[in-house]
Amino acid sequence: MAGRGGRVDLADLAGSVGDGSTVDAPTNSDGVFRANVPLAQLVANPRNPRAEVGNLEDLATIADRQLQPGTVVSRASWLALWPEDASQLGAARWVVVNGCRRLAACHHYERAGMDVVIRDSLATNRESILWAAIVENIDRQDFDVLEEANAVELLVTETGSATAAAERLGRSPGWISQRRALLNLAPELQKALRQGELAVRLARSLAQVPMAQQVDAWRRAQRRREKPQNERSGEAGTRPVSIPTVVVRAFQRSKAQPSDVVAAVCELYGEPQIDEMIELLEQCRGARRAN
C-alpha cells in the first residue's frame, strides 16, 4: 500500500483483498471492468444452456488479445440464487454468465487471465440470469436447436408461463411453442435433428405425433422425398402441382370466406401449428407492407 500522499494501484488492491471484502459486494461492484482476472478465479455458468462449447478455432486470437470482456456475477450473488451449486463453483470468486466460450478459449490457448465486467444486477433473480445466458446464444448458427429448446423451457419454468417467456425474449408465443415442441421428439429424432439430418420444420410436425409413431412417420416422409418426381405426381411426365396451389384452387372453387378458412384450420390443426400459422401470416403481412 502507498504511503501518505502516494498513489494506490487499485488493480493491486482489488487482487489482494479476501472473499469477505466489500470490493466483491453487489452494491459496490456492478458495472466494474476488471482486466486479466486469473482463470482460477473464474468458473463457467453451471446453468449455461450450451451443453458443449464447440470448436474454439474462431477464438484463437484470444491468446494475444481479448476483444470483448465476459460478464460475471460474484460467487455470493450466485449462491444466493442457487446455493446447491457451491461444489460446482469450487474456489472461484466469479461466475461467467456470458462468455463461457471465451473462458474455455482462454484455457485452451493458455491465456493467463480473462477480461470481465461485473454485473451483479443480473443476479436479482434466476429469471434474469437465465435470460442473460439465453440471449447471448439464441439464433447463433452453432447453438444446438435442442439446447435452445431446453433453455426456453427453463425460462418458461422460471417466468411461470410461455407468454411471459416470449415477452422476456422478444419473441412470439408461437416461436416459444415451436421450440418447446422439439423436446417431445423421440431420442432417435433428436439425434437426427442435432446432426442436421432432420429439418427443424419437419421436426416440429413430427413432435405432434405420438412418440411411439414418430420414427415411422419420419421414415415415411423420407421415402416420399426419395421417390422420383413423376411417381409423386401420379403420372409420368406431368409436372407436380404444389400444395399451396391445390389449396388456393380449392378455396376458389368453394368461394371460401376468411371465417371458413379459420374454422377449417381450427378443426385440422393443434395449437402449436396454429401458432406457427399466425407467425407466418404476420411475416406475410410485413412483406406485403414493405412492397
Query: Residue 114's pLDDT is what?
Result: 96
Query: Residue 8's pLDDT is what?
Result: 33
Query: Residue 241's pLDDT is what?
Result: 60
How far apart are the C-alpha atoms of 59 and 109, rounded to whole Å? 9
Dihedral sign computed on CA atoms, order 126, 131, 132, 133 = positive
Nearest CA among 49, 82, 158, 73 for reference residue 123: 73
* Contact assessment for residue 100 and residue 80, using Cβ atoms and an 8 Å cutoff: no
Query: Residue 150's pLDDT is what?
Result: 84
Q: Which neighbouring-strand residues pair with 38?
A: 113
Burial of 108 (0-12, 13-18, 19+ CB in 10 A): middle
Q: Which neighbouring-strand residues pair with 116?
A: 34, 70
Query: Residue 202's pLDDT is what?
Result: 87
pLDDT tens series, the chain, 291 aa = 343 333 333 333 333 344 333 344 444 568 899 999 999 999 999 988 776 777 788 889 998 889 889 999 999 999 999 999 999 999 999 999 988 889 999 999 999 999 999 999 988 888 888 888 777 666 555 567 888 888 888 889 888 899 998 888 888 888 888 888 899 999 999 988 888 888 888 888 888 888 989 899 888 888 877 765 545 455 444 555 667 777 777 777 777 788 878 877 777 777 777 878 887 887 777 667 765
List % helix, strand, coil for the chain (3-state, nearest 5): 60, 10, 30
